[in-house]
Structure 1
């Protein structure tokens, strides 16, 4: 197993770079492969550029290691979106680094809660494990999500 990434550089990103666009495409393909068609809530590039979404890319030197975004749902509630680690960086701490970065952004914005929607099993288990490790708990649906046995919503109260 490769060693954990310790010098990750996370930047706000405009989604114009080829590597970032390729990782977004990989993420969308993966979500469509792992989810029923009506349950894919992953955002395409155009939606990641919406005014209420801030997108970040994570880099190790000049290599794209991961991505994530935060959407403003209200003045005190944010939603995590598009969390994805590049295949070469899996299980090396990139997802955790991005999660901690997004939680710091949420706190700086004054959010009291951050929520997310994800699947329940299979390829979603590593992300669920990470979210639980950092205090996320199951919650009722928020925004326009509907729970149906495939999806679950999780939330974290920020102190």
Structure 2
């Protein structure tokens, strides 16, 4: 698998992000969907990665800087054609390592609470993320689960 920083200009990435956003809307009320659009993911405080297997887009993910040393994990998504093949684990491993290299000491995330989000919740727990309260501009929301992880740098 090749994981690279992506400029979000490719058609495949746009389609995967569109699928991601639609999936959020299928399981969560619009006011509880916190996925960034293409413009939001192209902001200077965001680093976006895409994962490719033999020329096929397998997944994506990003980090958004919240404050010095604290970033939010955003837009983690595995392409349907690559589900249950370890894409998310490899991508998350890569993103967390890159975050550490950028001097990030804490990574937080927001994911959903409906049953369709259980695989994501399990992945994050497996990586040492623990539940926390809302962070940054988030508020309590029955459709949101907030998690955080301290990175060991040095």
Distance in 2 separating the partners of 1:148 and 1:18: 33
What do residues 44-98 of structure 1 show as CA deviations (whole Å, max 9, x unaligned)?
1111101111111000010000000110111110100000000010011001111
TM-score normalised per structure 1: 0.93
* 1:54-65 paired onto structure 2 within 5 Å: 54-65=47-58
Question: Who is 2:108 aligned against?
Answer: 115
Deviations 1:6-28 (A, max 9, x none): xx110000111111111011111
Kindly tell me the number of residue pairs found equivalent between the two proteins. Answer: 152
Matches within 5 A, 1:56-135: 56-135=49-128
> What's the TM-score, normalizing by structure 2?
0.96
User: Residue 46 of structure 1: SS of its match in structure 2?
Assistant: helix
2:31 to 13, 23, 38: 38
Q: For 2:25 and 2:47, locate their aligned partners in 1 and report how far apart those are by CA, in whole Å.
A: 23
* Structure 1 residue ranges without an equivalent (≥5): 1-7
RMSD of equivalent CA atoms: 0.8
